[in-house]
Amino acid sequence: MEGITLRSLFRKKQEGKKITMVSTYDYLSAKLCQQAGIDCILVGDSLGMVFQGLDTTLHVTLEDMIYHTKVVKRGAGDTFLIVDMPFMSYQVSLEEALRNCGRVIKETGANAVKLEGGEEVAELVHRLVNIGIPVVGHVGFTPQSVHALGGYRVVGRLEEEGEKVKRDFKALEEAGAFMVVLESMPRALAKEITETSKAITVGIGAGPHCDGQVLVFYDLVGLVEDIKPKFVRRYLKGAELFRNALKKFREEVEQGLFPSEEESYG
C-alpha cells in the first residue's frame, strides 16, 4: 500500500473526499488512529494543555514536541504525520526557525511541520518548502497568540478581522503551504476560503465546508471533561468508562476478588 502522502491527500481534495486528522501525543492513540484509517496525525502543541495540564500552549518546548512525535511515530504507521512547531521555536529569526524545523523533521520522521500565523511566517514557509519540508499553516484563532487575541474566541466575525484571515491564508498559500488549519471562525468565512483554495483546508470550529476536519483525540473520546468547546463532538464517554473501570479495580482489590487463581502464577 502507498500510505498517505501529499499526492494522495491532494487526490482526496480533488475528488471531493473529506480528509481526517486527529491531534494526539502518544503511541497507543496513534496506533488506534492508524487502525481506524485516519489520514493525518498531528502532534499538536495542545499537548501542553491536554497532556501536561498547563493553561496555554505557550510553555511547550521543542524537546517536548520531538519526544512526543517520536513516540507517536511508532504507532502512526503510514499515517501522514505533522508536527506543531512550538511557540518561540520559529519566531526569533529565519535561520533559527529553519534549523529547528529541520531538526524536527530529521529527528522524528514526521512528514511535515505546522506553523501558526499568516503574512508574518510566509517567508519562512517559502524557505521551508524550497528545501523540501512540507508546511501546514494555521489561521483564524491561533492558540500561541491567545494573549494578543484576548482569550479563546471566534476570529473573523468583524469584517476587518475576516479580511485579515483571508490575507493570511493567501500569503500561506502563495508561499507554498500545502495545507492550512482554519480554527474557530465563522463557517461562511471558511467556506469562502475553501472554495477558491489550492491548499487543503482542515477545519476545527470552522464549519462543515473545509476539505477536512481535525479534533483532539482526548476530546473526541470524551476523556477531557472540564471544557467542551462548541465544535467538539464526543464520540465516547471516555472519562466515565475509565473512571468506572478504575473504581471496579479498586473495589475488587479491596474485596480480595483480584487477582484470581487464573491471574496468578503457580
Q: Which residues bind ligand KIV (CB under 6 A)?
A: 23, 42, 44-46, 84, 181, 204, 214, 216
Q: How far is the CB of 241 from ligand KIV (least distance, A)?
A: 23
Q: Which is nearer to ligand KIV, 2 or 113 (CB)?
A: 113
Taking alpha carbons only, the member of 210, 207, 216 closest to residue 43 is: 216
Q: Which is nearer to ligand KIV, 152 or 249 (CB)?
A: 152
Q: How far is the CB of 181 from ligand KIV (least distance, A)?
A: 5
Q: How far is the CB of 236 from ligand KIV (least distance, A)?
A: 18
Q: How far is the CB of 180 from ligand KIV (least distance, A)?
A: 11
Q: How far is the CB of 159 from ligand KIV (least distance, A)?
A: 25
Active site residues: 183
Cβ atoms 28, 75 nearer than 8 A:
yes
Q: Which is nearer to ligand KIV, 132 or 183 (CB)?
A: 183
Q: Which is nearer to ligand KIV, 153 or 247 (CB)?
A: 153
Question: How far apart, in whole angstroms, are the C-alpha atoms of residue 84 and residue 138?
Answer: 10
Residue 37, Cβ density class (10 Å: 0-12 exposed, 13-18 middle, ≥19 buried): exposed
Q: Which is nearer to ligand KIV, 232 or 257 (CB)?
A: 232
